[in-house]
Amino acid sequence: MKYFMLRSYILLFFLSKIINGDVLFSSLPQSFHVVAYPTKGQVLKAGEDRITVSLGLNQTTTNQTDNESYKNVKVKLCYAPISQVDRKWRRTVDNLKKDKTCQFTIWDKPYDMNNQTFEWVIEKDIPTAMYFVRAYAYNSAHQERAYGQTTNDKKSSNLFKVEGISGRHLSLDITSICFSAFALLSLVGFFLLEKRHSKIKS
Amino acid sequence: MDISLDSEKNDRKFALPVDSEHKATEFRLFSLATPHMRAFHLSWISFFSCFVSTFAAPPLLPIIRDNLDLTATDIGNAGIAAVSGAVFARIAMGTACDLFGPRLASSSLILLTAPAVFLTAIANSPAAFLMVRFFTGFSLATFVSTQFWMSSMFSPAVVGTANGLSGGWGNLGGGATQLIMPLVYSLIHSNIGSTKFTAWRIAFFIPAFFQTLSAFAIFFLGQDMPDGNYVRLEKSGEKHKDNFSQVFYHAITNYRGWILALTYGYCFGVELTIDNIIAQYFFDRFNVNLHTAGIIAASFGLANLFSRPGGGILSDVVAKWFGMRGRLWTLWVVQMIGGLLCLLLGKVGSLSASIAVMLVFSVFVQAACGLTFGVVPFVSRRSLGVISGMTGGGGNVGAVLTQVIFFRGSRYSTEEGITLMGVMIMCCSLPILFIYFPQWGGMFLGPTKGSTEQDYYLSEWSTAEKEQGFHKMSVKFADNSRTERGRKGISAPIPTDNENPPSTVL
């Protein structure tokens, strides 16, 4: 009885997810073939370097009817497992609504059956981390229907590093140090003033 | 209140009615009159700016953590560092107030810590982030100078109110910063067009400037005591320049200071802990977005607008009827209820119930803070600063301990941690039962027959010191604090003092 209740609960849970429209990553077919250049081991600078991405349908695994339901494709920059360690705000969750693995969309276009290639300059707000590239195909209800990625299932191959900008500028550094010095010098000034006042009073 | 011919003559230059120590006997919130109300406004605004600086990082963490590549452990450690620096800084500040006066002590500390806020703008690594949060946190020691200054400017009848309002409105900074910093950041990012990782850095200049300005305001516009600054009063002989080791000794040998340090750790310390963990708690447990979680976190701190002052006012009102015994009872009851609500907070499972419990909990725990500083001014006159510093430091110790035991690593879930923290609040409030003033009594025992305020406060001075007249201020304070006997005791005849030293007449 308990076992039956458990199974029906799990079944209902998944059904409710589908009814709610929550898509699970594990349910998606890997219909796309995605390749990104530069590849493994390279360090790219945010704001300067570019990534070239090629994507096309994976002929062997695609289903014809599925194919017709794709309305648009988004290509995203995703965190590799090593950059997710001890960082819950980047965690991977099967429920794609709660998944935080892929936080940057680098390309968003209507679906085209042909192979596509595009270039993307790494934007200045991309933080320093290890990444891979993943593409999602969406249906007209904006639900993920298929995916493709540059790395393997374990997310251990073809990872590349992006070095983010520091956000610091020489002018900021100078201003910051000058005002700190000003604060400390004012303090010395206060003590001298106080000493002078006490001498005057006596 | 003693109304002698002497005080009527000296009343001449004060906008507010004063007692024999020239401390104001009334509190007029919307006045800027020197020196009393001006001191009040200077102290709460500068303390507010220090709180804004210390907790300026948490609301911007989603951006800072990406820029500096922080892990959750780095963030947790920086949060603990931010409140641990002030533990010793508060005790040092208390000593500095006793020796140099609150005006110099607080403006110096604020200027010393302003560089840490300026330099946050150029932090480049997790280690640098931890260091700037650690040193910025030292500025929370201005709490002690705030309370000391209020206790120097306001008479026993209104000291709870003055302390509660200045402390509460300062603490408000911890809530206000959760709203101010994201606003400043988005203004810089959207309107000026700086990139995310530059915009947050520029944003930190705002609290840094505010803090620096407040130090200047205190130095040029403030005054240590109603009659003037320490330096001038010491030169003219009205105030004796006290001896550090004696001041320190009389503070650490007063058991009441230690008890209050412990209990304050479990009202204010809990408040600091909640400031650090509550946004994450709502975000993780109830899946609200970070923006909403920030608003909920802010509302906890913003309750300080009325809850801590409410505690201080309540302390003064209860003291009118029941004196010090009333202050102690109210403190204990309010803090116990706070503990119960904390226990409940960890147990409720729905978002709306959690928010409701959290708000009521915030009122009680912050009122307990205000009530604590209704008692502190009476523990010692000579070592008021160090006692205030010990109590204040105890608050931060409580924050560090609680975060380390219950909110670090994955031993307890956050809700379990909150419930256990509630239990700890209740246990650590029990020592209040043991606070006893011979001249006024304690929670369960009445005053010792024949014991007077003068006996208590003058016991802090040696005979040699008394012969030189160093204890004059304590005598005045002792007389003014007779109000702590409550309605019944105040009409009782003053027991004849067996102390009639001829050399005290100066």
Confidence band for B49, pLDDT divided at 50, 70 and 90: very high
Range of the domain at A46: 28-163
Q: Is the pLDDT of residue B504 over 60?
A: no
Q: CATH number of the domain that A103 lies in?
A: 2.60.40.2550
Contacts of A148 (CB under 8 A, 6+ apart): A30, A31, A32, A33, A34, A55, A58, A134, A135
Beta pairing, strands A102-110 & A116-121: unpaired
Q: Is the pLDDT of residue B165 over 50?
A: yes
CA pair distance A98, A24, nearest whole angstrom: 10
Confidence band for A113, pLDDT divided at 50, 70 and 90: confident
Predicted pLDDT at A21? 62
Predicted pLDDT at A39? 60
Predicted pLDDT at B266? 95
Give the residue-averaged pLDDT of B221-245: 76
Give the pLDDT confidence of A74-102 residue by residue, as tens digits.
Answer: 999 999 999 999 888 888 999 988 888 99
CA pair distance B317, B327, nearest whole angstrom: 9
In sign, the C-alpha dihedral spanning B269, B271, B275, B279 is positive
Chain A residue with CA closest to B121: the answer is A176
Coil/strand/helix, residue B235: helix
Q: What b/e readout covers B453-473, taking b as 16+ CB neighbours within 10 angstroms?
A: bbbbbbebbeeebbeebbbbb
Coil/strand/helix, residue B1: coil
Element (H, E) at B328: helix B307-347
Q: With beta carbons less than 8 A apart as the criterion, state whether B122 and B201 touch.
A: yes
Evaluate the omega torsion of the peptide bond into residue A38 and state whether it is cis, within 30 degrees of 0: yes
CA pair distance B391, B264, nearest whole angstrom: 6
Domain assignment of residue A45, yes or no: yes
Closest by alpha carbon to B94, among B105, B84, B110, B82? B105
Beta bridge partners of A51: A120
CA pair distance B328, B333, nearest whole angstrom: 9
What's the one-letter identity of residue B325? R
Question: Between the CA of residue B367 and those of B150, B203, B313, B328, B332, what are the distances in Å?
Answer: 18, 32, 9, 13, 11
Task: Specify the DSSP class assigned to residue A28.
Answer: S
Q: Is the pLDDT of residue B4 over 50?
A: no
Predicted pLDDT at B141? 93
Q: Where are the alpha helices (DSSP H) in B266-306?
A: 268-286, 290-302
Distance from CA of A147 to the nearest CA of B (A): 26
Q: Cα dihedral angle (A108, A114, A119, A120), rounded to 10 degrees?
A: 20
Give the residue-averaged pLDDT of B144-170: 89
In sign, the C-alpha dihedral spanning B27, B380, B263, B135 is positive
Predicted pLDDT at B257? 94
Domain assignment of residue A191, yes or no: no
A164/B205 touch (CB, cutoff 8 Å), yes or no: no
Task: Specify the DSSP class assigned to residue B495.
Answer: P
Burial class (CB in 10 A: 0-12, 13-18, 19+), A72: middle
Give the pLDDT confidence of B173-198 residue by residue, as tens digits.
Answer: 988 888 888 889 988 988 888 899 99
Predicted pLDDT at B449? 87
Q: Tell me the average pLDDT of chain A.
A: 84
Task: Mutate one of B104, B129, B198 to test the A interface: name it (highest A CB count within 10 A).
Answer: B198
Task: Give A198 or B189, the one with higher predicted confidence.
Answer: B189
Q: What is the 3-state secondary structure (H, E, C) of chain A?
A: CHHHHHHHHHHHHHHHHHHHCCCEHHHCCCCEEEEEECCCCCEEECCCCEEEEEEEECCCCCCHHHHHHCCEEEEEEEECHHHCCCCHHHCCCCECCCCCCEEEEEEEEECCCCCEEEEEECCCCCCCEEEEEEEEEECCCCCEEEEEECCCCCCCCCCEEEECCCCCCHHHHHHHHHHHHHHHHHHHHHHHHHHHHHHHHC
Residues of B near A (Cβ–Cβ under 8 Å) read 62, 65-67, 69, 71-73, 104, 107-108, 111-112, 114-115, 118-119, 121-122, 124, 195-198, 200-202, 205, 208-209, 212, 215-216, 219, 231-232, 235-236, 284, 287
Strand boundaries in B386-505, DSSP class E: 436-437, 441-442
Report the domain count for chain A: 1
Q: Is the pLDDT of residue B387 over 80?
A: yes
Give the residue-averaged pLDDT of B148-170: 89
% of chain B beyond a pLDDT of 90 = 47
Task: Mutate one of A91, A104, A194, A195 to test the B interface: name it (highest B CB count within 10 A).
Answer: A194
Question: B397 is written with which tokens?
Answer: 């110790």
Task: Give A189 or A36, the one with higher predicted confidence.
Answer: A189
Predicted pLDDT at B288? 80
Domain assignment of residue A93, yes or no: yes
User: Class of the B34-220+253-442 domain?
Assistant: mainly alpha
CA pair distance B381, B385, nearest whole angstrom: 9
Give the pLDDT confidence of B425-476 residue by residue, as tens digits.
Answer: 999 999 999 999 999 999 998 888 888 888 888 888 888 888 877 788 788 8
Please report how many Cα atoms fall inside a 13 Å half-sphere around the Cα of residue B20, on the Cβ side.
17
Q: With beta carbons less than 8 A apart as the criterion, state whether B78 and B129 touch.
A: yes
Task: Mutate one of B197, B287, B288 to test the A interface: name it (highest A CB count within 10 A).
Answer: B197
Predicted pLDDT at B494? 54
Confidence band for B242, pLDDT divided at 50, 70 and 90: confident
Predicted pLDDT at B221? 93
Give the residue-averaged pLDDT of A171-181: 96
What is the reported pTM? 0.83
Confidence band for B384, pLDDT divided at 50, 70 and 90: confident
Beta pairing, strands A72-79 & A50-57: unpaired
What's the one-letter identity of residue A89? W
Give the pLDDT confidence of B306-328 residue by residue, as tens digits.
Answer: 999 999 999 999 999 999 999 99
How many CB atoms are closer than 10 A to CB A184?
14
Q: Is the pLDDT of residue B267 over 70?
A: yes
Domain assignment of residue A3, yes or no: no
Q: Is the pLDDT of residue A186 over 90?
A: yes
A127/B67 touch (CB, cutoff 8 Å), yes or no: yes
Q: Is the pLDDT of residue B42 over 90?
A: yes
Q: With beta carbons less than 8 A apart as the criterion, state whether A101 and A87 touch.
A: no
Q: Which chain A residues are within 8 Å of B58, Cβ to Cβ?
A: none
B65/A176 touch (CB, cutoff 8 Å), yes or no: no
Q: With beta carbons less than 8 A apart as the criterion, state whether B324 and B437 touch.
A: yes
Predicted pLDDT at B7? 42
CA pair distance B268, B168, nearest whole angstrom: 11
What's the one-letter identity of residue A80? A
Q: Is the pLDDT of residue A8 over 60?
A: no
Q: Is the pLDDT of residue B502 over 90?
A: no
Give the residue-averaged pLDDT of A26-32: 84
Predicted pLDDT at A11? 54
Question: B293 is written with which tokens?
Answer: 């979680």
| Phi, psi of A170, rounded to the nearest 5 degrees | -60, -40
Asked whether this complex has an ipTM greater than 0.90, the answer is: no
A198/B205 touch (CB, cutoff 8 Å), yes or no: no
Question: B504 is written with which tokens?
Answer: 């005290």
CA pair distance A190, A182, nearest whole angstrom: 12
Tokens 């997710």 correspond to A84
Question: B352 is written with which tokens?
Answer: 């709306």
Residue spans of the domains in chain B: they are: 34-220+253-442
Task: Give B385 or B149, the one with higher predicted confidence.
Answer: B149
CA pair distance B397, B276, nearest whole angstrom: 15
Q: Which chain A residues are within 8 Å of B200, Cβ to Cβ?
A: 167
Q: Which of B111, B124, B209 sits opposite A186 (nearest CB)?
A: B111
Confidence band for B279, pLDDT divided at 50, 70 and 90: confident
Q: Which of A165, A186, A197 sits opposite B195 (nearest CB)?
A: A165
Question: How many degrees, rounded to 5, is the angle at CA B428 between CA B425 and CA B434?
Answer: 140
Predicted pLDDT at B134? 95
Stretch among A131-135, B146-150, B480-484 having the lowest mean pLDDT: B480-484
Burial class (CB in 10 A: 0-12, 13-18, 19+), A64: exposed
Question: B485 is written with which tokens?
Answer: 């006997």
Give the residue-averaged pLDDT of B244-252: 87
Please state the separation of Cα A17 from the chain's center in Å: 24
Closest by alpha carbon to B84, among B385, B386, B394? B394
Task: Mutate one of B195, B229, B289 to test the A interface: name it (highest A CB count within 10 A).
Answer: B195
Predicted pLDDT at B491? 55
